[in-house]
């Protein structure tokens, strides 16, 4: 019985991706733990698929790699110009039920589209480093209401409203409504040529 997506398969693929990224850099678990601020034990569990990382944890790991979350979720294979909905990498935050779908076809384009669904009352927090490799990011709300808080500034968004993100700050997505909030995110990656040395994370 195939659903639109398979979350356990997505978790397994993400785990493999995280390990591959670490090994490609020649980092040990301790190296990654130091750079991301996540404990060695937790990194090990996530890489083995024994723990489901929260959005905040994934944000820290992707920042340590110098990748956006979209790049982390992107399938390595591919190259077509169309990704069918059944092929789009999906990830659900176990803590909040937040659903994230990478829409853009793989292939390294600097711009990526991401689909988000936030359950009623749900709140997802991303640490500032998660945005450190993004040149520009804009969010448009499709259905429901969304409150995006950056630093100590809250932006109330309703259907059709669009927010352009500022410089990297701790950011919270909150759906204060009674129905799920659906929104679209356009991400422009920072052009940072050689990524041999990711920006150190505070």
Partner DNA sequence: CCGCATGCGGAAATCTCTCG
Partner DNA sequence: CGAGAGATTTCCGCATGCGG
CB 114 within 8 A of CB 102: yes
CB 92 within 8 A of CB 165: no
59: closest CA among 169, 149, 183?
169
Binding of residue 38 to DNA (CB under 7 A) = yes
For DNA (CB under 7 A), the number of binding residues is 22
Q: Which is nearer to DNA, 34 or 159 (CB)?
A: 34
Site of tokens 């790991």: 61
Per CB under 7 A, the segment of 22-30, 98-106, 131-139, 191-199 that binds DNA is 22-30
Q: Which is nearer to DNA, 96 or 137 (CB)?
A: 96
Binding of residue 95 to DNA (CB under 7 A) = yes
Binding of residue 25 to DNA (CB under 7 A) = no
Binding of residue 172 to DNA (CB under 7 A) = no
Binding of residue 69 to DNA (CB under 7 A) = no
**Of the residues 5, 16, 44, 147, which one makes contact with DNA according to CB under 7 A:** 44
Binding of residue 57 to DNA (CB under 7 A) = yes
Q: Report, in Å, the least distance between residue 29 CB and DNA.
A: 4
d(CA 24, CA 65): 10
d(CA 73, CA 7): 12
Q: Report, in Å, the least distance between residue 40 CB and DNA.
A: 5
Radius of gyration of the chain (CA): 16
Beta strands in the chain (DSSP E): 90-92, 99-102, 111-118, 123-126, 134-143, 146-150, 153-157, 162-164, 171-174, 181-189
Instruction: List residues binding DNA (CB under 7 A).
Output: 28-30, 37-42, 44-45, 47-48, 50-54, 56-57, 94-95
């Amino acid at each position: 019985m195939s659903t639109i997506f398979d979350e356990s398969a997505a978790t397994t693929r993400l785990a493999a991706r995280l390990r591959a990224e670490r090994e490609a850099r020649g980092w040990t678990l301790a190296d990654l733990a130091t750079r991301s601020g996540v404990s060695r034990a937790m990194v090990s569990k996530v890489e083995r698929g024994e723990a489901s990382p929260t959005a905040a944890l994934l944000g820290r790991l992707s920042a340590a790699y110098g990748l956006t979350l979209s790049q982390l979720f992107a399938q390595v294979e591919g190259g077509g110009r169309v990704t069918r909905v059944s092929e789009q990498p999906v990830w659900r935050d176990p803590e909040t039920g937040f659903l994230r779908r990478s829409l853009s076809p793989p292939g390294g384009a600097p711009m990526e589209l991401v689909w988000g669904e936030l359950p009623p009352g749900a709140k997802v927090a991303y640490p500032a480093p998660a945005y450190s490799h993004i040149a520009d990011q804009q969010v448009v709300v499709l259905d429901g209401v969304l409150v995006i808080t950056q630093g100590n500034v809250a932006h109330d968004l309703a259907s059709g409203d669009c927010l352009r993100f500022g410089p990297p700050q701790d950011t919270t997505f909150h759906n204060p409504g009674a129905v799920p909030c659906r929104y679209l995110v356009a991400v422009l990656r920072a052009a940072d040529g050689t990524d041999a040395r990711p920006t150190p994370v505070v």
